[in-house]
Every structure is written in C-alpha cells, then in structure tokens.
Amino acid sequence: MSRARLFAAFLILVLLPFRAIAQRGNDFDSLLAQMNAATQEGRWADGLAAAQKLDVLVRRRQGADNMNYAGVLHNEGMFLHNLGRYPEAIDKLNAALAIKLRNNDVASVLRTSNILVGALGVLERRAEATTVAERALALGTSAFGANDVRLSDTLAALGGLARDKENYQEAAGYFERVLANLRAANAPPVDLANAMDNLGDTYGRLGRFDDGERLLKQAIDLLDRSYGQNAQAAPNYDEIFNNLGSLYKDAGRFAEAEAAMRRSLAIVRARSGEDHPNTAATMGNLAIVLEQEGRYTEAEKLYQRVLEVYEKVYGPNHPTTAIGLYNLADVYVDQGKVEAAVGLQQRVLAIYEKSAGADSPDVGRALNNLANSYASLGRYDEAIDLFRRALAIMEHKFGQGSGPTAVAAESLGRGLTDAGHLDEAAQYLGQALEINRRMLGETHPELIKSLGNLGFLELKRDHAVEARRLFDQALRIAQDRLGPRHHDTVAAIVHLGNLDTHEGKWADALVRLRQASAVFNTERNPQFTRFVELDPLLIEAIWRVTDGHPDDAAKDEAFGALQRAHETKAGAALAQMAARFGAGNDAIAVLLRRQQDLKASLEALDKRVTTELGQPEGKRNDALIGSLRAELARTQKSYDDVTAQLERGFPAYAELSSPQPLSIAQARELLKPDEALVAFIAWYNEVFAVAVTRETSALRKIALNSKQISDRVAHLRTSLANPETRATFDLDASFDLYSALFGPISADIAGKPKLLVVPADALTSLPFHVLVTKKPDPALAADERYRQAAWLLNERAITVLPSVPSLRALRRLARESHATKPFIGFGDPVFQRTSPDKPAGTGRNVRPYQDYYQGSTVDLERLRTGLPALPETAGELQAVARALGASPQDDVKLGPAATVTNVGTLPLDQYRVVDFATHGLVAGEVNGLSEPALVLTLPDRPTSEDDGLLTASRIAKLKLDADWAVLSACNTAAGDKPGAEGLSGLARAFFYAGARALLVSHWPVDSDAAVRLTTGAFSELTAHPGIGRAEALRRSMKALIADRSSPRNADPAVWAPFVLVGEGG
C-alpha cells in the first residue's frame, strides 16, 4: 500500500530582529530571552506565552502599526503553527504581512510570506498559499531581479506547493531555478546541499531515479567535504539521507532504502536524542519502508514508539500526534487487524476536526479511512454515514469533478454495494468513473478498477449486459496498456468468467477461468495474488461442463484447483511465518530477506510502469518506460533465482511455505493400499469432494451448500461442549451430515479402512469420527445409544491433513525417530503470580479469544486476568510420564518452568513424545489477526524472545525428532469459529520442526480422559508397531467407549476431542 510521506521536517522558529525601542527595559529583554530559550528547546507553548506578553508590551509602547509589532505577530504565528493551531497562526501571519507590505519591506515580506505559505499548505488552502507566494515572488523579482538569491525560499515554497499537488514537473522547474541561483551566487555549501536535496527528491517522485540519486549523493558529498568529520552536525544532513531512502523505496530498492533511513535515524538520534520529535519522524519513515516490505511486526513497533514520542512532546490531541495514530492504524489495516485500527482512526478524526475544522480535507480523509474500516467489519450504516460526510467535504473543497471527489464517491459506492443499496451505489460508482474518464482519458489503466467496481455492482443488480460491457472495457484497457499477463488483465478475465457462471454460460466460463489459472500457475511474480473465487469457480465449471462426469484430465485439473484454493486462504499466515524466519541470521534468513526485498521491488516497479503507461501520449516517457521494464525483467530474474535457491537448499521450508499441488498420479503413489484420501472445498452455494485411492479417483458434488454445512457443524459442536452443561449429542444430525458428506463418495472409498481427510472451512472444527454411518436406534437410552452408535470411528482410522501437499512433505521427509527419551511435557503455566482460584478441569479458555487482543498483539495483562489456571494439567502430564516410563519430576515442566525460553533451549529432539497441556489461541478466531499460539507461563517482563506465547513461527524454529506432539489445549485443532486456520498453521509448524504427527484437541479436554486416550494410543502403538498412529488412536477411543465403569465414557464429548494430524500410517 502506498502512502504519502507524512513525516515532514519540523519548522525552525526564526525570531525576527527588533528595531530600536526606546526604554526597552529589562522586561523586554527578559521576554526575548524566554522566547529564544523556548525555541531552542522546542517548548512552543512557553514561547507563545512570552510572545503574547511581548505583544501587549510593544502595542502599549509603540502601537500596532509598525515593523516591531509586525515582528511580534510573525513570531506568535510561528509558535501557533508549531502548536498545530493553524487558523490562529494564519491570522497572526496575515496581520504581520499587512504591516510589512505597507512599509514596503520586501525582504521581510518574503520571510513572513514563506512561513504563511507553509501554514496555509497544512490546511490545504493551496489557492491562498499560491497567491501569497506568487505575490512575494513578484515583489522580490521587481526589487532584486529574477535571479537574486534572496528569492530562493519563495521559489522553494512554490516548488513545495506544486509538489504537494503532485505536479512534479512544475515543482522541478522551481527547484532548478533555486539551485541555479544559489550556484551563481556561490552560496554556502549548506544552502546548495538543501537545494540539491529538494530537487533530487522531486526527480525521484518524477521517476527520474538516477538523476535524483545523483543529486542527493552530491549533496551528501558536498557536506562531507565542507564539514569533514562534523558532517552530521550540518543542517538537513539527516534529511538528505531520509530523502535518498525515500527515493530508493519508490524505486523498489528496499535494502538500500532501509540502509539510508537507518543512517538518517542514527544522525538525528545522535543530534537530538531518543525522545525528540525529529527522531520520531525519521523513525516513522523507516517504518514506512519496513511496512512496504511486509515486515509488519517491525514497522508496528517503530510506529508505536513514534506515537509515544509525539504524545509526550505535543500531547494527545496535536495534528502531529494524529500522523502517528494514522500510521499505526494503517499498519494494523495492512495486516487485516481492522478492529485494532478503529479506535486509532477515531482519535485521528477527532484531532483533525478540532485542529483543522470539520470541513477540512484532513477530516475528509480521516472519515474515509474510518468508514472503510467500519465497512470491512460489517458496520455498514455507520460506514455509509461517514462516506457521505467525506464526499461532501471533498466536493466542497475540491469541486465535483476533482480527483479527491472521485476517490470519495467510489468509496461511498463500494460501501453502498456491500450494504445492499445497489441502485444508489450505481449513482456514485458511475460518478467516480466519469470523473476519472474526464481527468485521465478513456484508456488510462486507473480506469480498470473503477470499471470493475461498477461492473461487479451491475452483476449484483442482475444487469448482465451492462456488467459485461464494463468488464469487456476493463479487459481491453488492461490488455492494450498493461499486457496479457498483468495482474489487472487476469482480474478482468476472472470477472468475466464469474459473469459467465451467473448467466449459465459454463463452457465460456471454463475457457476464461482456465486462461486466468494458467497465468497464475506459471507466473512466479509475487505481486500475483490469486483471487479467492478463481479455483472454486473453476471446479464448479469443470463439474457443470462435464455433467458431473469429468475425465481423468479434468479431475486432475479440479484436484489442483482445490489445493490452490486451500493455499490461498492460508497465504497471510504463511507470509507472516516467512517474515519471522527472515528476521534471523542464518542462511535461510539471508535468502528470505533477499526474496522479500525483491518482491517489494517488483511491486514498486510494476506500479511505476503502470503509472507511466497511463500518461497521455504527449507526456508519456517511452525511454523511461523501457528502462523500467528492463529493470522489472532483471528484478524478476533475480527473484526467480533466489526462490530456486530456497527450493534447492531448503526443501522442507519450501514445503512449509509454498507447497506445489499434487497431481492425482502423485497422490496415488504416496497412498498405501488400505488408504483413501478425501479433500473438501466449499464456496458459497457449492461444496465438492475429491476422493483418491491407489486405484481410483473421483470428483463429487455435495448436496449441502457451505452455509448449510456450517450450520450443521455448529449444531453438533454445541452438543460437544462441557458435558456438565451441554445438550444431548444429536445422533440423527450426525448421521445426516455423514450421509451428505460421504454418501456421494462411499463407493469410491469402499474397502479402505484408513481415511486421510483434508477439511475445509466449517469442517475444520469437527472431528470426523463423531459422524454416524447408520440411522441411530431411538429406542435406546442415551448412554446406550452412544455405545451402540455406528460411529465412523468403528469402520475407519482417520487422519487429518492440513493440506493435500502436506502428504508429500510428511512422507518424503519422514524418518525414524532417533530420540532416546520417551516423554517431555509442559503444563500448568503461570498466568498471574497471585492468581485467584479459578475453575479447573473443563474450564480451559472460557472467554472468546478476541477478548485477549489489544491492537495487533495479544494483551498480556488481559491474558493474566482472564485465562483460567490449569492445575489439573500437572497431574495429567505426570500420569502420562509415568505411563511412558519418564520421570514425573524431571521430564514434566510445570508452572515457572513451562516457559517459551525453556521450550526454545531444552534439547527437545531427544524426546519421542512432546506434550503441551495449556490454552490455545487460534488464528481465525480473531478476524485472522494473528498466528496461532500456545500460551505458556507469562513472564513478569515480556521480551521479544519470550512474551509467553509459543507461536507457530517459534514452533517452526524448534528442533524436534518426535513421533507425537500432543496439544491437549482447548480449541487447538480449529477453534469454535468454523473455518479457523489454527490447525493448518500449528500443524505445518510442528511438521517443519520435526514432529511426524500431532494429537490435538477440538474442545476442553477432561483430564482423566486425556490421560487414558493418549497413553492408550501410545501403548497400542508400542504393542503393535505396524498398525499406525491413526489406528492406535482409534483403538484407544473404542476402549474408552466400551468401558462401562462410567456412563460418561461413551459420551463423544469425553472420548472424541482428539484428532490425529499428520502421518497416521
């Protein structure tokens, strides 16, 4: 996501000299000294107080129409500006300027005009600012000549205004004049360097990266030669490195951008200290670079520090503080952490309403950002109200045909579309499209998005002819201006394919969807984000075109699409894991950081090419386009090379992060004769299953739609909660769901006692062994009905796979354990040092997981007070240890010993079974905000190495050699929220670390049952090594059901929480 550079240089207060005042007195000198001291120390409020006292003193002694009083007004305006009180600052500066104009003091007029231009610019009153600056330039030119060095600041102010309007060519013209005037006057090196800085930065924004880099480096060299070892003390030395970093960022050279930003930060930190706002501003610019690289955790920490400084220096309600809030909120939104962003965005809005006025463009943008967040959270009524306010502001400030108005109208149109107000949405999306057409022309690439938005709306309105016209136009523009393999071109093809499916033109849809899929399947460019609807639509099109009887090639195609659909949903979690791996210092970290840098470079270069291609014929720079395309090709090759190095050198990581789909033939080779693989895919109204055995394969349609399955799974889950409070398990509903899911594939998997299942969406939150294969007998009592039920468990040993390709990873990388010790366990973690008594046993994690999140990260204090203690897990782990021949004292880490630090430092590869008995936090249950994690002892002083959370990324970095990893934590498998991605994230991490199978729980586990089920499975496998883990778990469950010592033993809430994930054979 691009963002305007918001961290502007801070104004330095220049106190104007006072002409002789009769009888100045000590009070006058004292106030001057106070103002000077406040200025040097950045105490703007104190400086303003002294200036206001001086105002009274000068007016009393000399009156209000003289140059001394003009100097007082000038300084008051400066202080007010630095305090963010812009309207008051403008009043003071205008008053000062009026006096100076009457006195015809041109040099003084130039100084105050330049400051006034800056204040007006902050409020985006650019027309007034331009008038002031042009008047000053005319006066200065008349008085001093067109090339006088005293015009430099005014020319620079006009350049800044042009740059703010993104008229970079005009801005460059002004800055070129400044540099020429200064060179002709043999100006001091610091002034020349500043001019080179402004011009180099502008060249960078024009895409003239080589010219900009040359000038910025010349500026650095000039100051280095002039100041020698004291160059860091030169004015704006840090700012030049900052602008060089920004240029590198825009050019996609992120490693160099980061280095330049860190150099700038070191300079300003040494000069100003850690808590100075200039330090914070530079830190914020570094965070922007990291954010654009996708290094969100690092960027977030920097933004939080920036905000802390701004709030300390300026207070909580200053416009500069709003910048810090804005950027922190933005990095939350980038990560999908929208709820965390809303509170910050509300504060930004309140600050701008107070400081800039309720109808300012800053308020309009703040309203739009907050409305987008509300819309993404489904709060449509609130979002639409804010979108309307934003549009009204932009129309009033910029006009109905302006670019900002188009942006606001399109945002409102999308919000109305999401809320179902389709006819009104058409009005605003049409308005945005027409504005963009007038401003950009009929074939500009920026029109593709507007056409797509309006086309999608018309599709929802059942206006298929109009939708097709819009999608066709988007496709023509994309193909002509961007090429056949560009992401926007493929998007338009997918839109048309989607439209074909709505019109029942399945053969046409299949052609388009195959065309789009082929590009995605062959392009390694990371900017190609696969559309979530593409693969499910492709599967449905294959089914429809073949009348439900696809040939082998079509089945293979559908099988691949199913796998890619699963990987698309897991993409965010995998990206976060890649970022964490890249933060290390080993060989894989170096390659990953290089790959991430190249990915960001590709995205930046592609954006630059698109922008240049969108220029009208007279302004298009074909040489620049050619240069950018050549650089894009070189960068793509470098990305391909690094990716190939990762795949060759670290095949296990490649399987973890970007597994390639299996063909049906490959899956058959991996399956054993007694195994059947069943994978599900759900998409709105359609659910499909692919079944593969050594002999056959089949694509089958499931009669239920996605919502119906979700509702039925949720119903069964409610009867598998705490057995003390839950309803009776609905055997009839269980049979109905079994019939719907497995009825269509029953013949395809007949005679296969071992079932490998890849669930999707809601099915991830249900253990398949609680499904019933025959209609239950209603005449039996509840506990006997459970014992006599035809559980799927009775017929098949079931293994869950997080994905189809994980089968290849597990069996390709499988090896016998060389661990010599039987067991190590971690449990009964400490959440509070002095914790009140809390229910044990079935009380694991009784609050919603989202309750424990504050911002983007887990709120550790809320965890301390909210998580129930788990004293029963101590006995549970010790019992398992004894059963396996381990030491209940030495091999069970409880309480203060159950820490992330211990897990990371103990030689876990020496243990065949590694057991975690604790709470789980599962990604997907907090709006996809975070990695899944296990909660261990929460340290008194959390660090980046140990905050008490054993995340998937940390798990992946462990070294294991375990036959079993046991996670007897509430909701570890998939959580209460159907479709949560916890299973996939944790399983991949443990497999990468070296575990061959996971025994994980779906709901709070009864401790006695946990001991019996786990030790029973381990004992069965020890006694009968050839049966496999899944069969061992099946036998352990059946033994518990058959045990009549308690009627509860047959209850699925007791015997069914565990599933086997991984290698079950």
In a domain, 941, yes or no: yes
pLDDT for 834 = 54
- What DSSP string runs through 606-642? HHHHHHHHTS-TTT--HHHHHHHHHHHHHHHHHHHHH
Looking at the fold, whether 682 and 777 belong to one and the same domain comes out as yes
The two beta strands, 964-967 and 853-854, are unpaired
Mean of all residue pLDDT scores within the chain: 84
Least confident of 485-499, 682-696, 930-944: 930-944
**Residues 749 and 866 grouped into a single domain:** no
Secondary structure (DSSP) of 820-838: -EEEEEEES--S-TTPPP-
- How far from chain centre, in Å, is Cα 1045? 52
Q: Which of 564-573, 671-680, 967-976 has the highest mean pLDDT?
A: 671-680
Clarify whether residues 988 and 917 are in a common domain: yes
d(CA 776, CA 786): 9
**What's the pLDDT tens digit per position in 309-348?**
999 998 999 999 999 999 999 988 887 778 888 989 999 9
In a domain, 875, yes or no: yes
Q: Which pLDDT score, from 0 to 100, does residue 916 have?
A: 94
Q: How far is CA 128 from the centre of its chain?
A: 39
Q: Which residue has the tokens 């000053």?
A: 136
Asked if residue 857 and residue 762 are part of one domain, the reply reads no
In sequence order, the 6+-apart residues with CB closer than 8 A to the CB of 708 are none
Q: How far apart are CA 33 and CA 46, in angstroms?
A: 12
951 shares its domain with 883: yes
Q: Helix-strand-coil percent breakdown of the chain, rounded to 5?
A: 65, 5, 30
**Band of the pLDDT at 657, cuts 50, 70, 90?**
low
Please tell me whether residues 822 and 946 are part of one structural domain: yes
Distance, CA of 850 to CA of 924 (rounded, Å): 10
User: ∠ CA(551), CA(556), CA(557), 5° rounding?
Assistant: 100
Q: Tokens 């003193």, residue?
A: 57
b/e code 199-208 from CB counts within 10 Å (16+ = b): bbbbbbbbbb
68 in a domain, yes or no?
no
Q: Where residue 957 falls among pLDDT bands split at 50, 70, 90?
A: confident
Highest mean pLDDT among 224-228, 523-527, 1036-1040: 1036-1040
In single-letter form, the type of residue at position 3 comes to R
Q: Would residue 636 count as lying in a domain?
A: no
Nearby residues of 920 by Cβ (< 8 Å), 6 or more positions away: 845, 932, 933, 934, 935, 967, 969, 970, 971, 972, 975, 982, 986
Q: What is the mean pLDDT of residues 866-888?
A: 90
Span of 344-358, 360-374, 645-659 with lowest mean pLDDT: 645-659
- Cα separation of 934 and 982, whole Å? 11
Average pLDDT over residues 446-473: 94
- Does the structure show a pLDDT above 90 at 862? no
| 823 lies in the same domain as 950 | yes
- Mark which of 395, 420, 440 sits at the end of a domain: 440
Q: Does the pLDDT value for residue 11 go beyond 50?
A: no
Which residue range forms the structural domain that includes residue 387? 360-440
Higher-confidence residue: 105 or 976? 105
Sheet holding 920-921, edge to edge: 920-921, 933-935, 949-951
Query: Would you say residue 595 has pLDDT above 70?
Result: yes
Is 1061:802 a contact under the CB 8 Å cutoff? yes
Tens-digit pLDDT profile for residues 32-81: 888 888 887 778 889 899 999 999 988 988 888 888 889 889 989 989 98
Helix (H, G, I), strand (E, B) or coil at 798: strand
CB 487 within 8 A of CB 509: no
Residue 736 resides in a domain? yes
Lowest-confidence pick of 202-211, 269-278, 382-391, 1018-1027: 202-211
CATH number at residue 697: 3.30.420
Indicate the residue among 398, 417, 440 that finishes a domain.
440
Q: What is the pLDDT of residue 654?
A: 67
Cβ–Cβ under 8 Å, residues 335 and 296: yes
Residues paired with residue 688 on neighbouring β-strands, in sequence order: 681, 701
Please tell me whether residues 794 and 828 are part of one structural domain. Answer: no
**Cα(499)–Cα(513) distance, rounded to whole angstroms?**
11
Tell me which H or E stretch contains 199: helix 189-205
Per-residue pLDDT at 138: 92
Q: Pick from 859, 813, 512: which is nearest to 656 by CA?
A: 813
My answer on whether 900 and 957 are in the same domain is yes
- Position 351 in a domain: no
Kindly indicate the confidence band of residue 285, based on its pLDDT and cuts at 50, 70 and 90.
very high
Token pair 């071992």: residue? 754
Q: Do 780 and 834 reside in the same domain of the chain?
A: no
Q: Average pLDDT of 261-289? A: 93
**Residues 728-742: pLDDT tens digits?**
889 999 999 999 999
526: confidence class by pLDDT, cuts 50, 70, 90: very low
Mean pLDDT on 514-542: 77
Q: 3-class DSSP state for residue 398?
A: helix
Model pLDDT for residues 976-1028, shown as the tens digit of each residue: 444 444 556 677 788 878 888 889 888 877 888 888 999 999 999 889 988 99
Residue 979 within any structural domain of the chain: yes
Same domain, 864 and 966: yes
Give the model's pLDDT for residue 673.
Answer: 96
Edge-first strand order for the sheet with 797-800 is 697-702, 686-692, 675-683, 754-758, 797-800, 1058-1062, 997-1001, 964-967, 911-917, 821-827, 892-894
Number of domains the chain contains: 3
CATH of the domain at 379: 1.25.40.10
What is the rounded distance in angstroms from the CA atom of residue 432 to the CA atom of residue 403? 9
Contact of 13 with 82, CB cutoff 8 Å: yes
pLDDT class for 9, splitting at 50, 70, 90? very low
Predicted confidence band of residue 583 (pLDDT cuts 50, 70, 90): low
Is the CB of residue 67 less than 8 Å from the CB of residue 58? no
Report pLDDT for 1022.
87
Lowest-confidence region among 102-111, 289-298, 364-373, 391-400: 289-298
pLDDT-derived band of residue 591, with 50, 70 and 90 as boundaries?
Answer: confident
Instruction: Give the model's pLDDT for residue 497.
Output: 94
Task: Pick the last residue of a domain from 392, 419, 440.
Answer: 440
When mean pLDDT is compared over 109-118, 619-628, 634-643, 827-836, the highest value belongs to 109-118
Give, as one character, the DSSP assignment of residue 913: E
Task: Please report whether residue 681 resides in a domain.
Answer: yes
Q: What pLDDT, on the 0 to 100 scale, is given for residue 597? A: 74
CB-CB contact of 1040 with 1055 (8 Å):
yes
Strand partners, 689: 680, 700
- pLDDT given at position 119: 86
* Residue 711 CB partners (closer than 8 Å, separation 6+): none
Question: Residue 971 pLDDT more than 80?
Answer: no
The residue-averaged pLDDT of 839-844 equals 43
- In the 3-class helix/strand/coil scheme, how is 303-328 assigned residue by residue? HHHHHHHHHHHHCCCCHHHHHHHHHH
Let me know whether 723 and 779 are in one domain: yes
Instruction: Please report which confidence band the pLDDT of residue 840 belongs to, taking 50, 70 and 90 as the band edges.
Output: very low
Question: Would you say residue 929 has pLDDT above 60?
Answer: no
